[in-house]
Amino acid sequence: ASTSYSALEDKNVKKGRRVPLSIGLKSKRILVTGGAGFVGSHLVDRLIERGDSVIVVDNFFTGRKENVMHHIEVDEIYHLACPASPVHYKFNPVKTIKTNVVGTLNMLGLAKRVGARFLLTSTSEVYGDPLQHPQAETYWGNVNPIGVRSCYDEGKRTAETLTMDYHRGAGIEVRIARIFNTYGPRMCIDDGRVVSNFVAQALRKEPLTVYGDGKQTRSFQYVSDLVEGLMRLMEGEHVGPFNLGNPGEFTMLELAQVVQETIDPNAKIEFRPNTEDDPHKRKPDISKAKELLGWQPSVSLREGLPLMVSDFKQRLFGDSKAKGA
Ligand code: UDP
C-alpha cells in the first residue's frame, strides 16, 4: 500500500495530480465502507480531523458504480459495512451473509486492484458460545453453523478466511479486528442491542427488558476506545486478528443496575424469553493488542454511559441542555 508520502507523491505526480502540501506528509485517501453507520461515522470524524481525505460507501449510495470507479483509488480501506445488531442482521439473513462474503470479496478485490491496505472489522461472535473464557485470539470458537446467528458469525468467519487468503495468495496488506460489544453516542435508538435498549427504556420510563435469567455476560466498550484501536491496528505492523474490547465484564442484570444508577433508580426490570443461541458469556483477552498495538480501553462503562445518555436524551426529547445523565 502507498503508505509513505513518497509513494503517494510518485503515484500522484505520474497521474498528473497536484499533491496539496498543506495537508501534511501523512495525509491519505481512505475508503470506509459503512462510514455513515455508528462506528463508521466516529471513525470518519477522527480520520478527517487527522487531515485525511475520506470516501464513504454506504447504502445511501445511489447511481452507478462505473460512474465513480475512477475516483476510487485509496491507500487504506476500513471495511465496516454490515448490520451488527442481532435484530438487524437476523432481519434478512441472506443479505447479511452476502454482505459479509460477497461484500468482503468485492472490497478485497478493490484493495488488490489499487494496492490498498485492507482492514476487516470482524467480531467477537466468531467465538460463538465460547468454551474458553476470556477469549484469546488463539481460540477457534464454538459456533453453530446452521443457527439463526450463523449469517453473521459464520459470515464474519468466512470474511476472515477471505482476508487471509487474499493476504497469503495475492500479497494484500491486511488487518483483522475482532470487535466486542460497543456502545456510545449515535447508536440507533431502536438498534435492539442491550445497552441502547436499556438506555432508551429508562429514558422513556419503560421497564428494562432483561432476556433470559440475565446472568449471561458481555463486556462493553466505549466507541472512542474502539476507534483508537482500529486506527492503531491499521497503522501498525501486525495483521492480527486482534480482539478490540473492554475486559470489564457485566451480567445483564448488573448492566441494568448501572443503567438504573445512571438514569433512574426506579426503573423497573421485566424478564423476557431469551433469543436462540445467545452466547452465555463474552470477555476479551486483550493481551495481544496491549503488547503489539500498545492499546487498551480507557473509558469505563460508568464513564461512557452518561455520554450516550446525553445523546439519547437529545435525540428522544430534543433536550439541548441535557449534558449529563
Ligand atoms: N439483551 C437483553 N435485553 C435486551 C437486549 C439484549 O437482556 O433488551 C441481552 C441478550 O440476550 C444478550 C446480551 O443482552 O445476552 C447482549 O445482546 P446484544 O443484542 O446487545 O448483543 P450480542 O452480544 O448478543 O451481539
> Average pLDDT of 1-17?
37
Atom of ligand 1 nearest to the CA of 201: 8
Nearest atom in ligand 1 to the alpha carbon of residue 256 is 7
- Per-residue pLDDT reduced to its tens digit, 281-306: 999 999 999 999 999 999 999 999 99
296 Cβ closer than 6 Å to some ligand 1 atom: no
pLDDT digits (tens, 9 = 90+) for 150-181: 999 999 999 999 999 999 999 999 999 999 99
Instruction: Work out the pLDDT band at 141, boundaries 50, 70, 90.
Output: very high
What pLDDT, on the 0 to 100 scale, is given for residue 152? 97
- Kindly state the cell numbers that stand for 175: 488487518
Check residue 13 and give its pLDDT. 39
As given in the structure block, the three cell numbers for residue 134 are 476470556
For residue 271, the CA-to-ligand 1 centroid distance in Å is 12
CB 201 near ligand 1, within 6 Å: no
pLDDT of 1 > 70? The answer is: no
Q: What is the pLDDT of residue 18?
A: 37
Confidence of residue 10 (pLDDT cuts 50, 70, 90): very low
Q: What is the band of 12 on the pLDDT scale with cuts at 50, 70, 90? A: very low
- Tell me what pLDDT residue 4 has: 35
Which ligand 1 atom minimizes the distance to the CA of 279?
Answer: 15
Determine whether the shortest distance from the Cβ of 276 to ligand 1 is under 6 A: no
SS (H, E, C) the chain: CCCCHHHHHHHHHHCCCCCCHHHCCCCCEEEEECCCCHHHHHHHHHHHHCCCEEEEECCCCCCCHHHHHHHCCCCEEEECCCCCCHHHHHHCHHHHHHHHHHHHHHHHHHHHHHCCEEEEEEEHHHHECCCCCCECCCCCCECCCCCCCHHHHHHHHHHHHHHHHHHHHHCCCEEEEEECCEECCCCCCCCCCHHHHHHHHHHCCCCEEEECCCCCEEECEEHHHHHHHHHHHHHCCCCCCEEECCCCEEEHHHHHHHHHHHCCCCCCEEEECCCCCCCCCCCECCHHHHHHHCCCCCCCHHHHHHHHHHHHHHHHHCCCCCCCC
- Test site for ligand 1: of 125, 218, 220, 301, most ligand atoms within 8 A of the Cβ: 218
| pLDDT reported for residue 170 | 93
- Percent of the chain whose predicted confidence (pLDDT) is above 70: 86
Task: Tell whether the model's pLDDT for residue 272 goes beyond 70.
Answer: yes
For residue 195, which atom of ligand 1 is closest to its CA?
A: 20
Given a cut of 60, is residue 21 above it in pLDDT? no
What's the pLDDT at 25? 53
Asked if 153 and 123 count as a contact pair (C-beta separation under 8 A), the reply is: yes
For ligand 1, mutation pick of 188, 211, 255, 301 (most atoms within 8 Å of CB): 211
Interface predicted TM-score (ipTM) of this complex, two decimals: 0.98
> What pLDDT sits at residue 59?
73
Which residue has its alpha carbon closest to ligand 1 atom 11? Answer: 211
Supply the pLDDT for residue 320.
56
Is it the case that residue 242 has pLDDT exceeding 70?
A: yes
Other beta carbons within 10 Å of 96? 23
127 as an active site residue: the answer is no
The alpha carbon of 158 and the centre of ligand 1 are apart by a number of angstroms equal to 24
| 181 alpha carbon – ligand 1 mean position (Å) | 10
Which residue did the predictor score with more confidence, 24 or 29?
29
**What confidence tens digit (pLDDT) does each residue in 50-109 have?**
888 888 887 754 333 444 444 458 899 999 999 999 999 999 999 999 999 999 999 999
- pLDDT, one tens digit per residue, over 29-63 is 899 898 788 888 888 888 888 888 888 887 754 33
Alpha carbon of 194 to ligand 1 centroid (Å): 5
pLDDT reading at 322 higher than 90: no
Query: What's the rounded mean pLDDT across residues 298-322?
Result: 90
> Residues 226-249: what's their mean pLDDT?
97
Q: What is the mean pLDDT of residues 97-126?
A: 96
What is the Å distance from ligand 1's center to 191 Cα?
11
Poorest-confidence range of 13-27, 81-95, 188-202? 13-27
Atom 4 in ligand 1: residue holding the nearest Cα:
194
Q: Which of 5-14, 22-31, 234-243 has the highest mean pLDDT?
A: 234-243
Question: Is residue 135 within 6 Å of ligand 1 at its C-beta?
Answer: no
Of the candidates 147, 148, 259, 157, which has an alpha carbon nearest to the alpha carbon of residue 210?
259
Pocket test for ligand 1, best of 143, 148, 149, 252 (most atoms within 8 A of CB): 252
Q: Is the CB of 209 under 6 A from ligand 1?
A: yes
User: How open is the CA angle 95-101-106, to the nearest 5 degrees?
Assistant: 105
Q: Which of 152, 166, 183, 222 is catalytic?
A: 152
Question: Which of 211, 131, 181 is closest to 297 using CA atoms?
Answer: 181
Answer whether 278 contacts ligand 1 (Cβ < 6 A).
yes
